[in-house]
Structure 1
């Protein structure tokens, strides 16, 4: 059955039921909250964000500039969505009251189709229990096993970093060699993940309506096994591949668990032997961690590294200063000695470069949440009504959908200054004055915030530190002829793609010269 017929059927059913669901049970926001007009009653502004801008974030930036840091946009069938880049509101939603704002159901449906009930999708007590188990494997003692080798001349750096990130994650998380760098032609998972990110769909009207129908009518989810669309087929293919490689590893880890095993999977399996039920997962939950770990750990690192070297290629002064910082550490620790975690964390410019790339290009444009209770959300930047009244808090009802705007917050000039849209790693050399705590790293939203921050953010930072150090030490980077065509493409995740050639997948073509 084709994707058009599949989602066309969902659309027809959803439209037939829309009046009932919308007018009897939808949440609504106060009329004084401003926002842009909706181009479509069926799909709302949500599709506009993905399909009607070349550069991820530009449309949201224009809205925040015109209407303020907290706005109202329209979702499927005219439902209200609260979108905010306000630091105080984000702190409340993601940190202070995190378990009162669950992940939006439509996101959980998509992630469930890809990987099952893993750490990325569960809520409440289930999430807290899984996190206790998984978090053990990302302690600093397990971040010291990366050995990165480099090669190149004129290189698609996004492709190279994708392979390097997959190999590093495979070794650290599973003690498994995907051979994405050494044997890319025969790396099955490398091919699957590359295709998965290459063809990540934009959010079409049919997809939005289909997800809405799956959320409102849960029994419809059972039909996916019999009438899968192209998106679901791709997710299931990825899930099946993850199960294929992870099942034997889990069985082996159960037999071999001891205190010397340091990869993530072994630590999870070992923790799962605990007599304490709060530190155990079911076998299904255990197996379902692999797809979530791979997508979260590989995609974000790859994209951020690609953008890091995009900016370094355009900023030779910072590139050379970073090279000097690296050489100073080499002189101190010795040319044959690997850098320690403390060496990396002590490199001020290296960390400034990583933080600035993360700030400018979060992998997710927004973090969707849904209020599980009636709430009052506080604001630091007030809404100014038509009669001049300043509103410092917003009442929301249970079920209200909220978009925590990562792009908007990461480039909010109230927080980051008038050059918030510009590359300026020097801003991090003097700690920015932050009134509100929002994100876990550099106070950006690139790894999320609160109890639902990226479970492997420390590993991701370490991986970016290692790879950036090795690549800057050994090579010099300049823009190629095609580099100026690279734009942040607003798909399911934000990836660097070339203007007019988005269909070719993520690319970052740079001139790479050995030193």
Structure 2
């Protein structure tokens, strides 16, 4: 067969596959499906729209908990928040639902938890689980206060002469990075002073640019990378990236390079200190109690079968940083924004914090006191319920999978469906937001922020649903083998920051500046009418 014939055959076969996808019938076709959806984007342009909150809510309210979507180039996808289906995806059959973005994560962050799968992922979690134990979390609390008190002192200097409008998203981002830097990596990046921002480490600059660059690469990540990521040698692939002049790709290359070199430096310094021992360890940031130091010690003691390679250790550095930074900073920012609009809740929480400080005789609560403040805990849980930092998680089926439902879904032919066969290669979007706000479970006020619901007692429908989430009947931190390993760390950090800030400061909305929260890779705040930048201006003043 001549080359022209081969090319013609290849093009014909590709067209045939596309037409079969677009017009062929399959088991998903009986599920309810919203109208519209172009051939090129399907419904994905609306699902991934940064202003897609109303669309997601309308999908759930109109079409139920298992919905067929039209994907790009005629593919078929699912939008799911049914409890039993979620349990099957995350707990019963996780090996049959592949996590998307694994290849991209490996190329940018290295062989960390977010990029690996199968036995390699299980081995990494086995090594990391003890690092996030309660005993280790107790060691984190003093570090959290050391960092957050630097922020408090800087803000105090800004508002001593009266209320000031301050971009709290900016300061929460810097604080979150320094918190994971010191407690996670045993390294400092930011003095958290007014002028330290102008001298930021290249690593810090890369971390801050990552989310925006990630979003700009959305199409390439979804539809180009899966086909080209393993072509040729690593050297050839690097040459291709260096040759292409597309801005977002080059930005991501530079970010990945800085992360790699910085990870090398951090791990190398830890190893040198451990080799010297004694004061070389205790004089480091984190005093040898940071997550990375503990991980390195545990790894040295592990068997050959369990021990992480150097590449895997380096991968954990960037993974820990990104997993802990934007999610926590935006969660704390969201709490401050909510409290600025709910003065009674803000005052009630401040009173609880100050009473706890009075009881302990200082402004640093211990681990047990910090996790036992009932209204603080309720505020954090309710904020994570209603506002998960990542509203959806994508999965792709590795083979044909029978997906069961907890309640019947009325098919297009009028039949009652209790399960559906999901073909191999189907994208499945698990809606954490819709699950957390499911009115069948949480009641008619499910989309209202009510911290008191956690104190009054959850409805039996929530408890009986047996959701697979690892955190308080919520899907915010996912569930099963790939659940967020650091969710307790995140909660503890969040509570420490809020205790320090609310004890000293009041927060109010900035006049004339309406805030919108964008549904990007991580939900972020922007000022309506301003272009691009993440900002959360609030009026900050001293609390009486």
Same fold (TM over 0.5): yes
Deviates more, 1:175-184 or 1:311-320: 175-184
Please state whether the residue corresponding to 1:166 is helix, strand or coil: helix
Between the aligned partners of 1:388 and 1:341, the Cα distance in structure 2 is 55
2:4 corresponding residue in structure 1: none
- 1:389 corresponds, among 415, 426, 435, to 415
- Give the deviation of 1:48 after TM superposition: 2.1
Q: Aligned pair 1:501/2:518, yes or no?
A: no
What is the CA-CA distance between 1:64 and the residue it aligns to?
1.3
| Aligned residue in 1 for 2:7 | none
Q: Corresponding residue for 2:104? A: 110
CA distance in 2, matches of 1:266, 1:277: 19
**How far apart, CA to CA, are the structure 2 residues paired with 1:68 and 1:421?**
16
3-state SS in 2 of match to 1:513: strand
Deviation at 1:113? 3.1
C-alpha contact (below 8 Å) 2:211/2:521 kept by paired residues: no
Q: Of 459, 473, 482, which aligns to 1:452?
A: 482
What residue in structure 2 maps to residue 185 of structure 1?
198
Match in the other structure for 1:472: 502
Structure 1 CA distance, aligned partners of 2:528 and 2:71?
28
Following the alignment from structure 2 to structure 1, what is the Cα–Cα distance between the partners of residues 242 and 70?
31
Q: Which range is displaced more, 433-442 or 362-371?
A: 433-442
CA distance in 1, matches of 2:444, 2:397: 33
Selected match of 2:47 from 46, 49, 52:
49
| 3-state SS in 1 of match to 2:300 | coil
- Asked whether the equivalents of residues 28 and 400 of structure 1 are also in contact (C-alpha less than 8 Å), the reply is no
Matched, 1:510 2:533: no
What aligned pairs does 1:282-297 form with structure 2 within 5 A after superposition?
Answer: 282-297=309-324
Instruction: Tell me if the contact between 1:180 and 1:187 (Cα under 8 Å) persists in the aligned partners.
Output: no
Aligned to 2:215, what secondary structure does the other structure show? coil
Q: How does 1:143-162 map to 2 (within 5 A)?
A: 143-144=140-141, 145-147=143-145, 148-149=148-149, 150=152, 151=155, 152=158, 153-162=164-173
Partner of 1:124: 118
Deviation at 1:84, TM superposition (A): 0.6
Counterparts of 1:217 and 1:229 in 2: how far apart (Å)? 16
Q: Contact 2:19 / 2:74 at 8 angstroms: preserved in 1? A: no
Unaligned runs of 5+ in 1: 1-13
> Secondary structure at 1:102's aligned position in 2?
strand
1:398 pairs with 2:450: no
Deviations 1:134-170 (A, max 9, x none): 2332222333221212115321111111011111110
Change (3 A) 1:225 1:394: farther
Query: Normalising by structure 1, what TM-score?
Result: 0.89
Checking the alignment, whether the CA contact within 8 Å between 1:136 and 1:267 is kept in structure 2 is: no
Q: Does 1:314 align with 2:341?
A: yes
Within 5 A, what are the aligned runs for 1:29-428? 29-51=27-49, 54=51, 56-104=52-100, 107-142=101-136, 143-144=140-141, 145-147=143-145, 148-149=148-149, 150=152, 151=155, 152=158, 153-179=164-190, 181-182=192-193, 183-188=196-201, 189-198=203-212, 200-201=214-215, 207-208=218-219, 211-220=222-231, 222=237, 223-224=240-241, 226-227=243-244, 229-257=246-274, 261-336=288-363, 338-428=364-454
Q: Distance in 2 between matches of 1:230 and 1:101?
A: 33
The two structures, once aligned, show a CA RMSD in angstroms of 2.5
Q: 1:407 to 1:473 in 2, by over 3 A?
A: same
Offset at residue 225 of structure 1 (A): 5.2
Gap regions ≥5 residues in structure 2: 1-9, 159-163, 282-286
TM-score in terms of structure 2 length: 0.84
**Is the CA contact 2:132–2:486 (under 8 Å) kept in the aligned structure 1?**
yes
How far apart, in 2, do the equivalents of 1:63 and 1:138 lie? 37
Relative to structure 1, is the Cα distance of residues 193 and 218 closer, same or farther in structure 2, using a 3 angstrom cutoff?
A: closer
Distance 1:482 1:280, change over 3 A: farther
Which 4+ runs in 1 deviate beyond 4 A?
14-18, 20-29
* Equivalent-residue separation in structure 2 for 1:291 and 1:416 (angstroms): 36
2:493 to 455, 463, 471: 463
